[in-house]
Chains A and B, each alone.
Chain A
């Protein structure tokens, strides 16, 4: 390897620093808040059918989040994470991909799964950890996953999905598939070592992966100016030799456009792409959090004016693809459906006791089976202490 090959700058004889902020990054904006387009803006590939699906998904997302936060407050649900104000990042990302593309997420991207068609019942069964949860009641609410929908099960440890996405995409390339992997993460998680590992390996191993950073300004209470000093996350792509793009994350058309071109590029060139979507976490980090302890009302109000769903609605109205009556009917319908689904799911019983020891390995080892046998004997002795499972195995 000749290290001269990347020495393409000028030769100087007195020290010349490149400034830490010398990378200037354009930001892609297509749609204005009033529903009109910026002059010269190039639309993504989108027709009325796709636009309607995207919009309905956004509304469904908003409604489900609202209802689930309320359910948590009522004590029906243990925990929830809303994506209030940044729904366009996940829904738009999924809309810019093909169904065969793999989606790997952090946790605030339920919109992508909604777009793929995960049913309301599936969402509820996961959140209520009942016997019908695909994940068998093992993970906290919002840790969804679906093999059928190419949506990797969410894992709480931050950043771990980033190098995994690189490996997954490499496998897709190896098989010659018409498929890429998109990998979502927050600007906070981008501080983890796994971020560096994942991006560098994607560039070196030439993996068709789209890294999608949701920069929503906060990691729990930590504002992004205490998270990093560089120019956001997009500037880091340069260091890894990765094509990078910054977009307005509350602009659904910019998100779809960016994902569409990233997909085409990743597949054609067998190379990763980094997208940084600028947004704001309008809600609390989770139902365990209260943002009034670390930020101001005024700051939140500034961002409320950038509502991505209202922005898309304005565009839909202008296109004459949607009207107010349809809109309020949709909200009403979704509210009723979600409420009804909560009532059904919360009553479904817990997973069978045997699921405690299955899937630890492909085949349950003898010692674990022995532990289960002992547990069953114990539960039979004290049935009142184990009401979910006593008498049910």
Chain B
């Protein structure tokens, strides 16, 4: 075991993936010599050479188009998009190409060996173009997997699983936690399962569900609720698509209440999808309406970030509201 922050854990996972397979390649804007603007690919060019870890020109559609071609050829493509906010020029290559490559060709060709890494989320005074959480756009696209880790241990295990998974995976990294989140991480190879949620804390009164950096927030709200004698079951969804309906359903069957919290705006966010499915699965077990605690339906602000975000106090209020319904 070693103490690693989230960036170290990602760097370590990439190192393992590149060591085990000579055909694994990491690239993106500033990824090569400099090691990425957040330094997630630090040292990889030095260790594996310029052919396998390199800077690309500044063109996201090119990066993902290139990655699609490379993956379809059988190489393992790990592409970095510098900020999730800048993934949109590559939207076509992701949504129309990567996601449909296998289906449209009858699996003559596929890009299962593609992984896209991108830092996402707010809380860094980044304003509207360095704070977005765009997971829902991609969750609306059959053929993609979407994974979001909450801490260094999760990041390493889930990233290795994403790289080895035979489907295109978008791996969103909570950049607010890059250096802030530090924990014990095994130095050796391990994997955590995709498509599996994790119960962090068992409880009886209400289920709290989130992913990525938002986990901290709901854990803090759960602590506040505990002082009121409310027992929360806290779940990290981990994989947004395809998501672990079973774990969440079982939990809500037990607690009868659910709050889903996300950083992204409320309307058509992934919390809405979860609410609809759980309402269907658990209708007769629900004691109160499923709550969603999310960002406002506006672009991500700067000066009023504190007011905008789905913070622990808003989650705590939602818990009380649900319990007292």
Residues of A within 8 A of B (CB): 78-79, 129-130, 133, 136-140, 143, 155-159, 188-189, 191-194, 219-222, 226-228, 288-289, 293-294, 350-351, 353, 355-357, 360, 367-368, 371-372, 375, 378-379, 381-382, 385-386, 388-389
Q: Does B57 contact A (CB under 8 A)?
A: yes
Chain A residues within an 8 Å CB radius of B126: 140
Q: Which chain B residue lies CB-closest to A140?
A: B127
Chain A residues within an 8 Å CB radius of B202: none
Q: Provided the pairs A221-B34, A357-B296 are in contact, do residues A191 and B301 lie with their beta carbons within 8 angstroms? A: no
Q: Which chain A residue lies CB-closest to B126?
A: A140
By the criterion CB–CB under 8 Å, are A350 and B304 in contact?
yes
Q: Provided the pairs A156-B129, A157-B129 are in contact, do residues A353 and B30 lie with their beta carbons within 8 angstroms? A: no
Q: Which chain A residue lies CB-closest to B86?
A: A157
In angstroms, Cα B266 to Cα A138, docked, is: 19
Cβ-neighbour of B297 out of A158, A355, A371 (below 8 A): A371
In angstroms, Cα B234 to Cα A251, docked, is: 62
Q: Provided the pairs A138-B128, A191-B62, A219-B29 are in contact, do residues A227 and B302 lie with their beta carbons within 8 angstroms? A: no
Query: Which of B133-141, B236-244, B307-315 makes up part of the contact surface?
Result: B307-315
Q: Does B277 contact A (CB under 8 A)?
A: no
| 10 closest A-B pairs by CB | A137-B303, A156-B129, A221-B34, A191-B57, A129-B303, A188-B58, A140-B127, A191-B58, A191-B59, A221-B30
Q: Provided the pairs A193-B89, A350-B303, A389-B307 are in contact, do residues A227 and B57 lie with their beta carbons within 8 angstroms? A: yes
Chain B residues within an 8 Å CB radius of A288: 37
In angstroms, Cα B314 to Cα A379, docked, is: 10
By the criterion CB–CB under 8 Å, are A388 and B306 in contact?
yes
Q: Mark B74-104, 1 if CB is under 8 A from A, else 0.
A: 0000000000011011000000000000000
Distance to closest chain B CB from A65 (angstroms)? 20
By the criterion CB–CB under 8 Å, are A155 and B58 in contact?
no
By the criterion CB–CB under 8 Å, are B58 and A139 in contact?
no
Chain A residues within an 8 Å CB radius of B30: 219-222
Chain B residues within an 8 Å CB radius of A371: 266, 296-297
In angstroms, Cα B79 to Cα A52, docked, is: 50
Q: Provided the pairs A137-B302, A192-B89, A357-B296 are in contact, do residues A381 and B307 lie with their beta carbons within 8 angstroms? A: no
By the criterion CB–CB under 8 Å, are A129 and B55 in contact?
no
Q: Provided the pairs A222-B30, A386-B307 are in contact, do residues A155 and B129 lie with their beta carbons within 8 angstroms? A: yes
Chain B residues within an 8 Å CB radius of A385: 306, 311, 313
Chain B residues within an 8 Å CB radius of A79: 125
Question: Could you write out 9 A-B pairs with CB less than 8 Å apart?
Answer: A137-B303, A138-B128, A139-B129, A156-B127, A221-B55, A360-B297, A371-B266, A388-B307, A389-B307
Q: Provided the pairs A78-B125, A192-B89 are in contact, do residues A360 and B306 lie with their beta carbons within 8 angstroms? A: no
| Interface SS of chain A | loop
Q: Which chain B residue lies CB-closest to A355?
A: B304
Interface residue total, chain B, C-beta cutoff 8 A: 40
Q: Which chain B residue lies CB-closest to A220?
A: B30
Distance to closest chain A CB from B34 (angstroms)? 4
By the criterion CB–CB under 8 Å, are B130 and A228 in contact?
no
Chain A residues within an 8 Å CB radius of B181: none
Cβ-neighbour of A138 out of B34, B86, B301, B314 (below 8 A): B301
By the criterion CB–CB under 8 Å, are B58 and A353 in contact?
no
Chain B residues within an 8 Å CB radius of A155: 129
Q: Does B201 contact A (CB under 8 A)?
A: no
By the criterion CB–CB under 8 Å, are A378 and B317 in contact?
yes
Q: Provided the pairs A193-B89, A360-B298 are in contact, do residues A367 and B267 lie with their beta carbons within 8 angstroms? A: yes
Chain A residues within an 8 Å CB radius of B266: 371
User: Considering the complex, which residues of chain B in the window 275-311 have a beta carbon less than 8 Å from any beta carbon of chain A?
Assistant: 296-299, 301-304, 306-308, 311
Known contacts A139-B128, A159-B89, A389-B307, then 11 further A-B pairs from the complex at CB < 8 Å, ordered by chain A residue: A137-B304, A138-B302, A156-B128, A157-B129, A158-B58, A219-B58, A220-B30, A221-B37, A226-B57, A288-B37, A293-B34
By the criterion CB–CB under 8 Å, are A193 and B61 in contact?
yes
Chain A residues within an 8 Å CB radius of B58: 158, 188-189, 191-192, 219, 222, 227
In angstroms, Cα B267 to Cα A242, docked, is: 45
Q: Which chain B residue lies CB-closest to A387?
A: B306
Q: Which chain B residue lies CB-closest to A192?
A: B59
Q: Does B66 contact A (CB under 8 A)?
A: no
Q: Provided the pairs A157-B86, A192-B89, A220-B30 are in contact, do residues A356 and B301 lie with their beta carbons within 8 angstroms? A: yes
Distance to closest chain A CB from B51 (angstroms)? 14
Chain A residues within an 8 Å CB radius of B298: 356-357, 360, 368
In angstroms, Cα B308 to Cα A367, docked, is: 15
In angstroms, Cα B42 to Cα A293, docked, is: 11
Q: Provided the pairs A139-B128, A139-B302 are in contact, do residues A378 and B314 lie with their beta carbons within 8 angstroms? A: yes
